[in-house]
A and B are shown apart, each in its own frame.
Chain A
Amino acid sequence: MNPHTTPVLAISLALGTTITISSNHWVLAWTGLEINTLAIIPLISKSHHPRAVEAATKYFLTQAAASALVLFSSITNAWATGQWDITQLNHPTSCLLLTAAIAIKLGLVPFHFWFPEVLQGSPLMTALLLSTLMKFPPLTLLLMTSKSLNPTLLTAMALASAALGGWMGLNQTQTRKILAFSSISHLGWIAIILVYNPKLALLTFYLYTIMTSAVFMALNKIKALNLSTILTSWTKTPMLNATLMLMLLSLAGLPPLTGFMPKWLIIQELIKQEMTPAAMAIAMLSLLSLFFYLRLAYHSTITLPPNSSNHMKQWYTSKPPSTPTAILASLSILLLPLSPMIHAIV
């Protein structure tokens, strides 16, 4: 990419996200979403490979349709109620349209097919941006309108996301696709709690961002795009691979790690709302995703190497240290004891 283009795109990404999350008016929020969509497209098709261009095209088409739906729902609301306030989305038709539009933007289940394919076509760092930063503005819109959304619809979409995100990830061998399905099932957890406790949805999103950023950056470090590359990476970065195992288990939500906190709090809140069957269903459905996390974790710390290597540890390969990966990894493993404080802050 042209070196002058990168700062323009980075500034626009920051500008679009900031505009959307801080706006009070539907038109401004929509403008921010559009700026975001436009700015990420050259980052997806950075390699100019036909697959990357295809991914960028798919991303553009789905996001443009979703943005048009956002605009349509807000115009319908303004036509019926005479105001453009984001928090005052009162018209039932606009609420349904907005739920559909944001579900397309986030990749919730009936509209999730674009997400793994776009992630598979983009570089790992862009995939990280797509699954964290690009989900933040639509999620903010959903959070601001959460009082008037339909809880039944959201719960159904959330359960379907948790189920299909786990189910479709089972047979995958590409790490980016597995992380895309992991993102879909995490969004299911966010969507199920959104109406009942919006703060908790935000907390879940923050923790998911930390954990998935750590995993993406670790995978980028060892350049692992599929499972067989992870298998052979233990000779180069043994410590990183051991940490990667812990980070993956944290994403899966196993107890002594950070990832347990959102699932714990969400299940508690759902039971308080007398939604025990939904809580049980989503907890059981996350076992499906546990399967592919466990397989990734097993591949990263494999006890019996599949091929012989001449050296136990390749000390001579250059491995510059990466501070952000280290910080994110420790955050994604060790935050559970601080959960009362984090719960109070968010």
Chain B
Amino acid sequence: MTYFVFFLGVCFVLGILGVASNPSPYYGVVGLVLASVAGCGWLLSLGVSFVALVLFMVYLGGMLVVFVYSVALAAEPFPEAWGDWRVLGYVVALVVVVLGGLVLGGFVGSWGFGVNTVDSVGMFVVRLDFSGVAMLYSRGVGMFLIAGWGLLLTLFVVLELVRGLSRGAIRAV
């Protein structure tokens, strides 16, 4: 299990590097999917299965829809993959940053790389993430409403930004 979680962590970092090294969106999304799958698996190993599932479905689904639209808008005849020199430079620089972070984290040691789980240590029958979701419908209803309003506002903002054929934010200039 420890090796599997370590494998997930390595996949997560590699996926993030795949996105952050700035390839074409066609290839960047592969890194995004890899990071998302590995990150949700990692969360699963910490014991928050519901949050991992919701994150996987909503985040990955939403990101893929955004990806399809942006690829349709910006079609490139010669997309840059990870083999190109420019992208390789980014990869090398980011690997140096990650290694520096690991060394620094080893020195500081404030976060620790040990195994931690989000568990209630047998205090409750229900898992913590499930009971947290239930709280959103009982005592935390105010937070729930605010979060819902924030998402609705995002919809309004996006509609206002892209509204109109000739003056929306997404148009051929």
Contact = CB atoms under 8 A, between A and B. Distances in A.
A39 B157 contact: yes
A304 interface: no
B149 A15 contact: yes
A42 B150 contact: no
Interface string B149-173: 1100110110011011001110001
A241 B3 CA distance: 72
A50 B167 CA distance: 9
B143 interface: yes
Q: How many residues of B sit at the interface, in one of the four size bands?
A: 20 to 34
Contacts of B74: none
A38 B150 contact: yes
Contacts of A42: 157, 160-161
B147 A5 contact: no
Interface residues of A, number: 28
Contacts of B138: none
A12 interface: yes
B78 interface: no
A38 B157 contact: yes
Nearest to B159: A5
Contact of B153 (A1, A19, A27, A39): A39
A28 B143 contact: yes
Given A19-B146, A76-B111, A48 B164 contact: yes
Interface in A20-56: 27-28, 31, 34-35, 38-39, 41-42, 45, 48, 50, 53, 56
Contacts of B149: 12, 15, 35
Contacts of A79: 111
5 contacts: A31-B146, A41-B157, A92-B110, A93-B110, A93-B111
Interface of B: 108, 110-111, 143, 146-147, 149-150, 153-154, 156-157, 160-161, 163-164, 167-169, 173
Interface of A: 1-2, 5, 8-9, 12, 15, 19, 27-28, 31, 34-35, 38-39, 41-42, 45, 48, 50, 53, 56, 76, 79-80, 91-93
Given A15-B149, A19-B146, A93-B111, 12 more contacts: A2-B160, A2-B163, A28-B143, A35-B150, A38-B150, A39-B153, A42-B157, A45-B161, A48-B169, A50-B173, A56-B169, A91-B110
